[in-house]
Amino acid sequence: MTDVNKLQSDLDYIRGAIGEDATAGGIPALYFLWAALIAVGFSLPDLAPRFAGAYWLFAGTGGGLFSWWLGARESRRHGYNNAQLGRRYGLHWCLVGAAFLLCFLPLVLGRVTPEMGGANFLLVTGIAYSLAGVHLERPLLWCGVPMLIAYGVLVVFMPPHIWTITGISVGAALCWAGFSRRAALNADHTP
């Protein structure tokens, strides 16, 4: 005979087990890596434009592959092997990569000024990180939102060195996410 109170207690236990989901949240090292890559890469068009293309070819591809490898390694090390989630990550960041490539189109065609083109990257980055925060890793939401605010500020005031400001805004937001994620992980491991 099944006891409804026992069932209720079992469901509470299972809810607790699922609530301790260690997969929520990302890897701080990756946040810091991309903060550095983006801050440098977005500053190049202002400071050394001829190196920007080559930098993104190697740093973008290498960073993406390294992120995939580190994510898979961390996941296995923590006892998770979620192929479906991996596909979602892959699809999200591939679409972001495609959106970045499309951002070059109005610049190449001369439809927007270089300043507006730079700001558009911040808009795409802000949306990409905010949506990653909604669907994949919560800390990314809180660095996507300041990027969107920074985009609004850039468009309204159009300051000089807009690419550098864009890169530093994204880098600072990612560092913030990295530090807050690391603090959360340390708090989880503190007895």
Partner 1 sequence: MKALTALDPLLEHRIRLGTCVLLAKHGELSFARLKSQLHATDGNLGAQLRKLEERGYLLSTKDFVERKPTTWYRLSDEGLAALESHMTALRALIDATGVGAGEP
Q: Which residues would be at the binding site for partner 1 (CB under 8 A)?
A: 2, 4, 7-11, 13-14, 17-18, 20, 22-23, 76-85
Cβ distance to partner 1 smaller for residue 14 or 54: 14
Q: How far is the CB of 12 from partner 1 (least distance, A)?
A: 9
Cβ distance to partner 1 smaller for residue 24 or 158: 24
Q: How far is the CB of 68 from partner 1 (least distance, A)?
A: 17
Cβ distance to partner 1 smaller for residue 24 or 54: 24
Q: How far is the CB of 75 from partner 1 (least distance, A)?
A: 10
Residues 141, 5: contact at Cβ < 8 Å? no
- Residue 61 CA to residue 55 CA, distance in Å, equals 10
Q: How far is the CB of 185 from partner 1 (least distance, A)?
A: 15
Amino acid at the residue 158: M
For the purposes of burial, counting CB atoms within 10 Å of the CB of 23, is it exposed (0-12), middle (13-18) or buried (19 or more)? middle
What is the sign of the dihedral through the CA atoms of 182, 184, 185 and 186? positive
Cβ distance to partner 1 smaller for residue 84 or 101: 84
Q: Between the CA of residue 32 and those of 3, 67, 72, 78, 169, what are the distances in Å?
A: 51, 11, 18, 21, 13
